[in-house]
Amino acid sequence: MTADTPQTAHQHSAPITQDVVTIPRKLPEGGRVNLVGLTRDQLRDTLIAAGTPEKQAKMRVGQVWQWIYHWGVRDFALMTNLAKDYRAMLAERFTIELPEVVTRQISDDGTRKYLLRIAGGHEVEAVYIPEEGRGTLCISSQVGCTLTCSFCHTGTQKLVRNLTAAEIVGQVMVARDDLEEWPQQGVPKEETRLISNVVLMGMGEPLYNFEAVRDAMKVVMDGEGISLSRRRITLSTSGVVPEIARAAEEIGCLLAVSFHATTDEVRDKLVPINKRWNIETLLNTLREYPRLSNSERITFEYVMLKDVNDSDADARRLVKLISGIPAKINLIPFNEWPGAPYRRSDWERIEAFADIVHKAGYASPIRTPRGEDIMAACGQLKSATERARKSRAQIAAEAGLQG
Ligand code: SAH
Ligand code: SF4
């Protein structure tokens, strides 16, 4: 499927392929190569190819890396510990380029939503959510999503392409710019740190863009730069089973899974990838994740949809299904979007559900919707250029619901 091929009904019944367009990771701009998003090894190769003697390469990588990711510098001329002619050479061949901020909206509750333009004129969104004692940046991994979860606004978007590692790291850097988070000489780092956590819960299925997500997270986790620990990064997947073990081994971050239903019949409709990898297959894979990634618990995300998946029986089935897996159940009150074929469960229902899960021994926080006034809440992201073209009836039909 090319970026502008309309999705057909058939693709909705079997939305399991990874038909997305990937553009070259190095974006030439006037022939120059963007250094953002290269891993240390890639940066080393790139600098050597540009004439840096191999013997100096490690040191040069360290210096350039620190300027870009520790200090947030964009201008090679400011890299004062490099010789002048070396700086000139870098400026001639390379750029340090971020996505362009099209708009920034700030919610009444302090949530910030950034609409970002990337190569090809595509747009993606990133959301910063300040909370007591922490600040979470929610970033996107794709423009749109090839999957078509029936409750998700992103899933109705037609155009899809994978983001490059540069565009994924770039979202973090753009937010750091806006929040003025880059360290300042003489000011302790803790005083400027506003992004304490990163979640891959924006637009797209991160495990269908594995390499770019992995490389971007390597950059974000690197101790000499942005320096977020792997335990402060959470990757959310709809359940791309074959890539889960790989994520444990090659990224090692925390995992969240969009579970959302307790029977295959319901999950097939809500999260259609379930038709490819069903609940049992998914759970068997999840059981291995904590050991493989040497991390604690898995977060089960569960969107609360009125009269669809929110009964006491569902809650009881859920705890039975996940028994033996170290887990936390994150209950997400459904966030409405124009044309959505579902309603949010009543508050008492959500609390009753949470109570059953809690009594079974699992933390069951109810996620407070944030930034709803600016359509920044979970599942509401969808860039303005690519607004819904589907009718409510069409979405409902695809979900196997009555119009
Ligand atoms: N594609 C990945 C990550 C992005 S979605 C995934 O599906 O896991 C981040 C979370 O928001 C997922 O759990 C998703 O199921 C949930 N979500 C999507 N649409 C939503 C909506 N309208 N209301 C509440 N949560 C939603
Ligand atoms: Fe894609 Fe996740 Fe939305 Fe499903 S919930 S359509 S996987 S972004």
- What pLDDT digit, counting tens, does each position of 163-179 carry? 999 999 999 999 999 99
In sequence order, which ranges of 154-250 are alpha helices (DSSP H)?
165-179, 189-192, 210-221, 241-250
Instruction: Tokens 């770039």: give the residue.
Output: 170
CA gap 60, 155 in Å, rounded: 43
Chain center to CA of 336: 20
At residue 306, what is the residue type? K
At 317-370, the pLDDT tens digits run 999 999 999 999 999 999 988 889 999 999 999 999 999 999 999 999 999 888
Cα–Cα distance, 218 to 291 (Å, whole number): 20
**Dist. CA 147 → ligand 2 center (Å):** 6
- List the structure tokens of 36: 């953002």
Q: What is the largest CA-CA distance in the chain?
A: 70
Q: Are strands 122-131 and 94-95 parallel, antiparallel or unpaired?
A: unpaired
- What is the 148 CA–ligand 2 centroid distance (Å)? 6
Q: Which of 122, 256, 115, 143 is nearest to 198 (CA)?
A: 256
Task: Write down the pLDDT at residue 247.
Answer: 95
Can you read off the two tokens belonging to residue 246?
């790989």
pLDDT of residue 296: 76
Q: Sign (positive/negative) of CA torsion 265, 266, 270, 271? A: negative
Question: Are 208 and 242 contacting, i.e. CB atoms less than 8 angstroms apart?
Answer: no
Residues 6+ apart with CB under 8 A from 105: 112, 113, 115, 374, 376
Q: Is 305 helix (H, G, I), strand (E, B) or coil?
A: strand
As given in the structure block, the two tokens for residue 284 are: 């068997």
pTM listed for this prediction? 0.88
Q: Are 141 and 125 spatial neighbours (Cβ–Cβ below 8 Å)?
A: no
Nearest CA to ligand 1 atom 9: 201
Report the residue among 147, 153, 258, 259 best suited for mutation to probe ligand 2: largest number of ligand atoms under 8 A from its CB: 147
If you ran DSSP here, which 8-state letter would residue 336 be given? P
Q: Which residues contact 154 (CB under 8 A, 6 or more apart)?
A: 144, 145, 203, 204, 379, 381, 382
The string of DSSP letters for 109-140 reads: TS-EEEEEEEGGGEEEEEEEEEETTEEEEE--
pLDDT of residue 27: 44
Distance in angstroms (rounded) separating the CA atoms of residues 71 and 365: 36
Ligand 2 lined by 205 (C-beta under 6 Å)? yes
Ligand 1 centroid distance, CA of 301 (Å)? 8
- Output the pLDDT for position 47: 97
Could you give the domains of the chain? 33-95 (1.10.150.530), 100-395 (3.20.20.70)
CA–CA distances in Å: residue 234 to residues 39, 107, 228, 254: 20, 23, 11, 5
Confidence at residue 275, expressed as pLDDT on a 0 to 100 scale: 98
Neighbours of 229 (CB within 10 A): 11
Nearest CA to 333 out of 320, 342, 321 is that of: 342
Mutate to test the pocket of ligand 2, among 146, 148, 151, 152 (most ligand atoms within 8 A of CB): 152
Query: Do residues 388 and 340 make contact, with C-beta atoms less than 8 angstroms apart?
Result: no
Residue 14: per-residue pLDDT: 30
CA-to-CA separations, 268 to 239, 250, 260, 271, 392, in angstroms, rounded: 12, 29, 10, 6, 19
End-to-end CA distance of the chain: 28
**Ligand 2 atom nearest 152 alpha carbon:** 3
Pocket of ligand 1 (CB under 6 A): 149, 151-153, 201, 204-205, 236-238, 258, 301, 303, 332, 334-335, 378-379
Q: Tens digit of pLDDT per residue, the chain (403 long)? A: 223 322 222 222 333 333 444 444 444 545 899 999 999 999 999 999 999 999 999 999 999 999 999 999 999 999 999 999 999 999 999 999 999 999 999 999 999 999 999 999 999 999 999 998 899 999 999 999 999 999 998 878 777 899 999 999 999 999 999 999 999 888 776 666 899 999 999 999 999 999 999 999 999 999 999 999 999 999 999 999 999 999 999 999 999 999 999 999 999 999 999 999 999 999 999 998 877 777 779 999 999 999 999 999 999 999 999 999 999 999 999 998 888 999 999 999 999 999 999 999 999 999 988 887 787 766 666 654 444 344 445 545 555 554 3
